[in-house]
């Protein structure tokens, strides 16, 4: 994915293929075994856009967000490091220039799918973005939004012929540490993805 030494990757326009939504819904399964091939930049672009991409000039995204406030952060952990997705630029910025997938797997209670995936997409949220407006419901709305974004990502993976699985069994603080984040951020979902084994 990209050349060496880059700390920002502009992503190509997302292409999800021609799979009808009904087919992607019917075929979507949790797949935990992956081939060795790295995801292409086009696949990463499509998955990031499906989860959190902008769909309107005013800031609308592929997943609904309480009040349009968008508290989620989408990170991608691969062999080159940890990247943060920026929906407005449709680009990835390098957040950590080292492979942290083993740390994520350890945080996910040793789950092999997190260890073996060529990329793991992590959804985290900052409930403080919502708190002034939604107070005690802020964390609930963050979790709901992460569910919307994760399902979009899973359906896009299916449309692209990729394997993916949602993972929520993990040590929250260890996930945040592996991603280079800290409270008040909430670790909500990991989605390992790759070519099917």
Question: The domain containing residue 90 runs over which residues?
Answer: 19-194
83 within some domain: yes
Q: Tokens representing 148? A: 């919307």
Q: What is the per-residue pLDDT for 20?
A: 84
3-state secondary structure 106-148: HHCCCCHHHHHCCEEEEEEECHHHCHHHHHHHHHHHHHHHHHH
34 within some domain: yes
Residue 31 DSSP code = -
- The tally of domains found in the chain comes to 1
Q: What is the pLDDT along the chain (197 residues), one digit of tens a residue?
A: 644 458 999 999 988 778 888 888 888 889 999 999 999 999 999 999 999 999 999 999 999 999 999 999 999 999 999 999 999 999 999 999 999 999 999 999 999 999 999 999 999 999 999 999 999 999 999 999 999 999 999 999 999 999 999 999 999 999 999 999 999 999 999 999 999 99
93 within some domain: yes
CA 43 to chain centre: 12
Contact 164, 193 (CB under 8 A): yes
Return d(Cα 91, Cα 107) in angstroms, integer.
Answer: 26
């Amino acid at each position: 994915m990209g050349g060496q030494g880059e700390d920002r990757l502009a992503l190509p326009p997302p292409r999800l293929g021609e799979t009808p939504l009904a087919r992607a819904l019917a075929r979507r399964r949790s797949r935990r075994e992956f081939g060795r091939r790295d995801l292409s930049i086009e696949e990463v672009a499509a998955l990031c856009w499906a989860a959190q991409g902008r769909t309107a000039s005013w800031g609308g995204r592929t997943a609904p967000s309480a009040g349009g406030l968008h508290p989620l952060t989408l990170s991608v952990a691969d062999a080159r490091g940890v990247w943060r997705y920026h929906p407005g630029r449709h680009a990835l910025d390098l957040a950590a220039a080292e492979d942290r997938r083993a740390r994520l797997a350890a945080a996910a209670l040793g789950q092999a799918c997190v260890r073996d995936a060529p990329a793991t997409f992590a959804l985290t949220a900052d409930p403080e973005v919502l708190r002034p407006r939604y107070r005690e419901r802020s964390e609930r709305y963050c979790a709901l939004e992460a569910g919307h974004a994760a399902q979009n990502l899973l359906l896009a993976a299916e449309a692209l012929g990729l394997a993916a699985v949602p993972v929520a069994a993990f040590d929250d603080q260890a996930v945040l540490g592996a991603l280079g984040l800290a409270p008040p951020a909430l670790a909500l979902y990991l989605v390992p993805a790759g070519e099917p084994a």
